[in-house]
């Protein structure tokens, strides 16, 4: 099987890598990521102009890509610059529109692809611990529309989002897969309270509270009560994107460490000549390549596998980058010594991002358990 990128993907990767290198240097990145906005609307629009968002969606939806390897290329480039822009929200909300949206709803994709609106998924709730079926937020019919009540946590760029995709229970118990519905909600709708905060690794998150938020009938995305399947589908795209981003960040952290070992001297020689450090660095290199292989497998499976096989490949990739990303972060910092922990060194910010990727859309423990459970299912 040939996993080499097409010429178009190579060109996209080169363009994005060059743009990130020239326009998203670490000092500028940190000013944006840890600033009040958490990102740069201007740079986000430029990413859209370069095709970074359009590459996440098929031509039928107004994009020019949309397959697993397109998504992987984009997010690996973002990882190389630990870019703090809301492309993950654009991916998952946009893919939900592709999967279940009406023709009218899919028109919202134009704004997402153009980068003129920030989109965010509001699904996680306090105590849910990554379980997709854990939904306590409710949506009840009222007249010709719906009334939304509940709370969502850890919504990436939730305070800035102009378009929210909200999961709510329209029937069933709090932990049932059946009875979950999805709604498109204007970020400025009356009744939404937002508490924004700065994320540990940069960017912004928010806790959202919905108090009698009135929605029109056409806010329902897909069939009533069947939102779990859509959530599982878009979670797969998120897992692939995060795993690809992690590999991009690992590559840079690995290169930083190699360069440091070759230049830092002790006892008159480069510390990279010490056999103990060579062995540790060789382990890091092997682990990074293992993570890359898992991502390639996931990128292929998201389009060419179905059911448990698809989900196993995606959970395997997320589990692998969770383990390897933490190892790369720890080993890189330890081999740098005390300087590895300093704010001024870019490595420290890559290490934080690698660790935090593990906690988005399920950590390594969650995905190991999920992989095992999927393995018990009949093919």
Please provide the DSSP assignment of 90-159 as one string.
HHHHHHHHHHH--HHHHTHHHHHHHT-S-EEEE---TT-TT-TT----EEEEETTEEEEEEEEEEEETTT
Rounded Cα distance, 178 and 191, in Å: 27
> Nearest to residue 12, comparing CAs of 43, 41, 55, 48?
55
266: β partners: 269
Enter the pTM of the model.
0.96
| pLDDT of 379 strictly over 70 | no
| pLDDT of 66 strictly over 70 | yes
Model confidence over 71-125: pLDDT tens digits?
999 999 999 999 999 999 999 999 999 999 999 999 999 999 999 999 999 999 9
Helix (H, G, I), strand (E, B) or coil at 180: strand
- Residues 148/190, Cβ–Cβ less than 8 Å: no
| pLDDT of 38 strictly over 70 | yes
| pLDDT of 1 strictly over 70 | no
Model confidence over 341-364: pLDDT tens digits?
899 999 999 999 999 999 999 999
Rounded Cα distance, 82 and 87, in Å: 12
Rounded Cα distance, 368 and 105, in Å: 36
CATH superfamily assigned to domain 7-116: Acyl-CoA dehydrogenase/oxidase, N-terminal domain (1.10.540.10)
Better pLDDT: 5 or 58: 58
Please give the DSSP secondary-structure letter assigned to residue 177: S
The fraction of the chain above a pLDDT of 70, given in percent, is 99
Please report, for the chain, the start and end positions of each structural domain, with discontinuous segments joined by +: 7-116, 120-225, 229-375
The pairing of beta strand 119-122 with beta strand 163-169: parallel
**Residue 103: Cβ-neighbour burial (10 angstroms; 0-12, 13-18, 19+):** exposed
Average pLDDT (148-173) is: 97
Rounded Cα distance, 131 and 13, in Å: 33
Largest CA distance in the chain: 80
Q: Which fold has domain 229-375?
A: Butyryl-CoA Dehydrogenase, subunit A; domain 3 (1.20.140)
Rounded Cα distance, 340 and 215, in Å: 50
Please provide the DSSP assignment of 298-311 as one string.
HHHHHHH--HHHHH
CB atoms within 10 A of CB 296: 19
| Banded pLDDT at 45 (limits 50, 70, 90) | very high
Q: Which fold has domain 120-225?
A: Butyryl-CoA Dehydrogenase, subunit A; domain 2 (2.40.110)
Give me the residue label for tokens 């709708």.
189
Element (H, E) at 189: none
- Residues 197/156, Cβ–Cβ less than 8 Å: no
- List alpha helices for the chain, DSSP H: 7-23, 26-33, 41-49, 68-80, 87-100, 103-106, 108-114, 227-263, 275-304, 307-336, 346-357, 364-375
**Residue 229: Cβ-neighbour burial (10 angstroms; 0-12, 13-18, 19+):** middle
Rounded Cα distance, 86 and 103, in Å: 24
Helix (H, G, I), strand (E, B) or coil at 202: coil
Judge if 7-116 and 229-375 fold alike in CATH terms: no
């Amino acid at each position: 099987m040939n996993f080499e990128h097409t010429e178009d993907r190579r060109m996209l990767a080169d363009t994005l890598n060059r743009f990130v290198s020239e326009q998203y240097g670490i000092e500028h990145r940190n000013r944006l990521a840890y600033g009040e906005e958490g990102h740069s609307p201007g740079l986000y629009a430029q990413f859209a102009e370069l095709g970074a968002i359009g590459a996440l969606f098929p031509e039928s939806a107004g994009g020019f890509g949309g397959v697993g390897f397109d998504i992987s290329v984009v997010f690996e480039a973002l990882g190389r610059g630990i870019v703090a822009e809301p492309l993950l929200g654009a991916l998952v909300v946009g893919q939900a529109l592709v999967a279940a949206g009406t023709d009218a709803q899919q028109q919202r994709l134009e704004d997402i692809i153009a980068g003129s609106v920030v989109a965010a998924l509001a699904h996680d709730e306090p105590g849910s611990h990554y379980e997709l079926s854990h939904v306590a937020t409710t949506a009840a019919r009222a007249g010709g529309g719906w009334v939304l009540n509940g709370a969502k946590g850890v919504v990436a760029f939730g305070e800035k989002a102009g378009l929210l995709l909200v999961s709510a229970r329209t029937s069933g118990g709090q932990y049932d897969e059946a009875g979950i519905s999805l709604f498109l909600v204007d970020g400025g709708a009356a009744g939404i309270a937002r508490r924004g905060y700065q994320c540990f690794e940069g960017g912004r998150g928010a806790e959202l509270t919905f108090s009698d938020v009135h929605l029109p009938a056409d806010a329902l995305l897909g069939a009533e009560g069947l939102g779990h399947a859509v959530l599982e589908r878009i979670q797969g795209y998120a897992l692939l994107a995060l795993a690809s981003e992690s590999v991009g960040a690992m590559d840079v952290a690995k290169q930083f460490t190699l360069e440091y070992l070759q230049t830092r001297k002790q006892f008159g020689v480069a510390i990279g000549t010490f056999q103990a450090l060579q062995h540790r660095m060789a382990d890091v290199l092997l682990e990074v390549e293992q993570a890359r292989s898992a991502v390639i497998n996931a990128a292929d499976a998201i389009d060419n596998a179905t059911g448990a096989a698809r989900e196993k490949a995606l959970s395997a990739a997320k589990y692998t980058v969770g383990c390897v990303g933490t190892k790369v972060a720890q080993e890189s910092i330890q081999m740098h010594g005390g300087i590895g922990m300093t704010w001024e060194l870019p490595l420290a910010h890559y290490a934080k991002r690698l660790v935090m990727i593990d906690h988005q859309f399920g950590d390594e423990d969650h995905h190991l358990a999920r992989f095992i459970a999927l393995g018990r299912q009949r093919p």
